[in-house]
Amino acid sequence: MAALEWQGDGVNPSDSSTPVPLRVRSIPAGHDYVRHAVGSAAGVLVLDDPLLDPADPGRWWPHPALEAAERPEVLDGADLVHVHFGYEHRSPGQVAGFVSAVRGCGLPLVVTVHDLRNPHEADPAAHLERTGHLVRGADAVITLTEGAADEIRRRWGANAQVIPHPRLMPAGTTEPYRLRRLDRTRLRQPGHPSRLQGSGPVGRPAGGRIVGVVMGSLRAGIAAEGLLPHLADALPDGVALVVMVRATALTAARAPDHARHEAALALDRLAERPDIEIRPHDLLTDDELCRSLAGFDALVLPHRHGTHSGWLELCRDLGLPPVIPDVGYLVEQWGSDTGRYDPEDPGVDELRRALAAALSAPPVPARAADAEDEAVAAAHTALYRGTVQTACS
């Protein structure tokens, strides 16, 4: 096995007192999920992503390691390769070539199936074909829910280990906002001596509540024109709607020939209502994003399609009840049905029921023990060790 120094008991045979870390080429490494899922894994060194642009040192895409078929040296220094995401720019044939190159280097391959349906692509066929090459060629497969594991088994005959999604952001960032939200929720309870008074944003009544939606950059998988007008009409009395959207994306979409022009028109029409705020923004820091989300009483996820969602985990981190589109395994990922809707036909009555369920839901439970960073990292460590030992036997 190329460059492999890992031993089954995690020690260097030449010096039994010095642990030798397993060097993992994670594709990518510089992503919040990877940092929380593997960052604290014992005996594991996640290799840094290559520096692609000195002006943007955090950029990891497109990841050079996926070009291993053309440049095998991009895998030098690794003992194991773990693919998460970021391979949609490669053709299915190129992904098959990547798998063969990893095999040719004698490296074990681990694949985490985050998405069976790419949330940013309208046609699922190419992503399924690419993912199929990875899953069939992998020594070990991970996914986030039992439902996704069952689908992987049906499609490709592979047994995927379910490891829950860890937190999306550090507790030091999210916990102050979660506690403030919890205090605000308690103050709103009927009969509380300090019940909230005073007027709020976007013209809502005193003590009113806010539902948020994050549109991001209006990518293909984000609903707007088909969802927002119905959502606006479904707002309960005394509830306002805030729609966050990247300012540059909204400006671009106002061009008549833009693919999301209808979405921009829908947003501009809604801005005329006194109970709705369209909030264009630049790229937000983690703290700015958490501060914005923590001001909401529920968050509507506008996914048209997908499998799992990091937004659900950020809701969990912040104690924010979501309204969940009935796609993929999002409801299973969340763990309870606080409010769901059909993104193919988001009717007003259905959305009204979903909003009422989310707004009246009990406080969001704390993250389960098996989804805390340390437990998720330990599960990855065990899987890596087992995979390497099997490959070496």
**Extended beta strands in the chain, E state:** 11-12, 15-19, 22-27, 44-46, 80-83, 109-113, 140-143, 160-162, 209-214, 239-246, 276-281, 298-300, 322-325, 340-341
Q: Mean pLDDT of all residues in the chain?
A: 91
Please tell me the predicted confidence (pLDDT) of residue 188.
64
| pLDDT tier for residue 68 given thresholds of 50, 70 and 90 | very high
| Measured distance CA(273)–CA(368) in Å, rounded | 40
Give, rounded to a whole angstrom, the gap between the first and last alpha carbons of the chain: 11
Q: Please tell me what DSSP assigns to residue 106.
A: T
Query: Which tokens in the block code for residue 378?
Result: 């330990």
The number of C-alpha atoms within 13 Å of 292 and in the hemisphere containing its C-beta is: 21
Q: Cis check for the bond before 108: say yes or no (omega within 30 of 0).
A: no
CB atoms within 10 A of CB 236: 13
**Any idea which of 43-57, 173-187, 375-389 has the lowest mean pLDDT?**
173-187
* Percentage of residues in the chain having pLDDT higher than 90: 84
Please tell me the predicted confidence (pLDDT) of residue 343.
94
How far, in Å, are 73, 182, 189, 314 from residue 177 at the CA level?
45, 9, 19, 12
Is the predicted pLDDT of residue 1 greater than 90, yes or no?
no
Backbone angles phi and psi of 338, in degrees to 5? -75, -20
Give the tens place of pLDDT for each residue, 177-208: 999 998 887 766 655 444 444 334 444 444 58
How far, in Å, are 93, 286, 319, 329 from residue 168 at the CA level?
32, 10, 13, 18
Please tell me the predicted confidence (pLDDT) of residue 7.
32
Taking residues 320-325, report their average pLDDT: 98
Q: Which residue has the tokens 């009395």?
A: 237
| pLDDT tier for residue 10 given thresholds of 50, 70 and 90 | very low
| pLDDT tier for residue 338 given thresholds of 50, 70 and 90 | confident
Residue 38: name the closest of 83, 4, 77 by CA. Answer: 83
| Measured distance CA(312)–CA(108) in Å, rounded | 31
| Measured distance CA(12)–CA(8) in Å, rounded | 10
Question: What b/e string do you get for 89-119 counting C-beta neighbours within 10 Å, with b at 16 or more?
Answer: ebebebbbbbbebbeebebbbbbbbbbbbbb
Query: Which tokens in the block code for residue 386?
Result: 């087992």
How far, in Å, are 83, 113, 157, 255, 349 from residue 153 at the CA level?
18, 12, 4, 44, 36
Is the predicted pLDDT of residue 57 greater than 70, yes or no?
yes
Taking residues 40-45, report their average pLDDT: 96
Please say whether the beta carbons of 236 and 355 come within 8 A: yes
Taking residues 79-84, report their average pLDDT: 98
* Percentage of residues in the chain having pLDDT higher than 70: 90
**Any idea which of 6-15, 130-139, 213-222, 233-242 has the lowest mean pLDDT?**
6-15
Taking residues 236-253, report their average pLDDT: 97
Give the tens place of pLDDT for each residue, 263-311: 999 999 999 999 999 999 999 999 999 999 999 999 999 999 999 999 9
| Measured distance CA(45)–CA(114) in Å, rounded | 22
